[in-house]
Amino acid sequence: EDQVTQSPEALRLQEGESSSLNCSYTVSGLRGLFWYRQDPGKGPEFLFTLYSAGEEKEKERLKATLTKKESFLHITAPKPEDSATYLCAPSYSGGGADGLTFGKGTHLIIQP
Amino acid sequence: DAGVTQSPTHLIKTRGQHVTLRCSPISGHKSVSWYQQVLGQGPQFIFQYYEKEERGRGNFPDRFSARQFPNYSSELNVNALLLGDSALYLCASSLEGTAQPQHFGDGTRLSIL
């Protein structure tokens, strides 16, 4: 049973073309929702933490938002260096496991 | 400040062998977590340790074990290696628990022949 679903799986945009990535989750007892960026051959790089519905965080061309069942990562006027895989991960209580549950990620390519 | 460091960066083993992977957390971080990432998938949680105690365990067989030392560094051990254990093994550290941001190292690429 998938608890975290990210869409689309892959996205190709032109430089400057804004878009949004989706992360939907079915976990209960959410303690926080994390967004990461991962470049090939590297570990995930932390971007944002969102703790409650309605919360928003911004960093350069990225803005993350959170509702009760999903989160969006909005990318405004992206540049080629924004190309990466973007991962979301809720942290939730229960089940005995205390780690993050990652989605499969969205592979984003920004063409110049 | 140094980030999370992992060693070795690459490792090749054969089936049936065992392996030890090492992780040094960011200075001041007391919690270490281990993840397995296979190609095309997100990282999958293996263990979390805090103050040398196991706080959580993912859905992995008993061949996987870990420990955390007094200096908060950690080791992940895998026994009786299988071909399916080939993956990128990631270590992440955080100040305390997983409700706080975890910061990842660049991982150990383990290949099983």
For B98, the closest of A43, A99, A102 (CB atoms) is: A99
pLDDT at A102 over 60: yes
pLDDT at B98: 66
> Chain A residues contacting B, CB < 8 Å?
4, 31-32, 34, 36, 41-46, 49, 87, 89, 91, 96-105
Burial group, residue B47, by CB count within 10 angstroms (0-12, 13-18, 19+): buried
Residue of B nearest to A90 (CA): B99
Size of chain B, expressed as the number of residues it contains: 113
Q: What is the pLDDT along chain B (113 residues), one digit of tens a residue?
A: 689 999 999 999 999 999 999 999 999 999 999 999 999 999 999 999 998 999 889 999 999 999 999 999 999 999 999 999 999 999 999 998 767 889 999 999 999 99
pLDDT at A82 over 60: yes
pLDDT at A95: 46
Mutation to test the A interface, candidates B32, B33, B45, most A Cβ within 10 Å: B45
Please indicate whether, in this complex, the C-beta atoms of A36 and B104 are within 8 angstroms of each other.
yes
Please indicate whether, in this complex, the C-beta atoms of A31 and B99 are within 8 angstroms of each other.
yes
Strands B10-13 and B108-112, bridge-based pairing = parallel
pLDDT at A30: 83
Contacts of A37 in chain B (CB under 8 A): none
Q: pLDDT tens digit string along A17-73?
A: 999 999 999 877 788 899 999 999 999 999 999 999 999 999 999 999 999 899 999
For chain B, the 3-state helix, strand and coil shares in percent, each to the nearest 5, are: 5, 50, 45
For CA atoms A54, A59, A60, A66, give the dihedral sign. negative
Burial group, residue B32, by CB count within 10 angstroms (0-12, 13-18, 19+): buried
The whole-angstrom separation of Cα A69 and Cα B25 is 32
For chain B, which domains are there? 5-112 (2.60.40.10)
How crowded is residue A100: how many other Cβ atoms within 10 Å of its Cβ?
Answer: 27
Please indicate whether, in this complex, the C-beta atoms of B101 and A31 are within 8 angstroms of each other.
no
For chain A, which domains are there? 4-111 (2.60.40.10)
- Side-chain-side CA neighbours of B35 within 13 Å: the count stands at 26
pLDDT at B1: 65
Q: Residue A92: which pLDDT band, with cuts at 50, 70 and 90?
A: confident
The whole-angstrom separation of Cα A26 and Cα A52 is 15
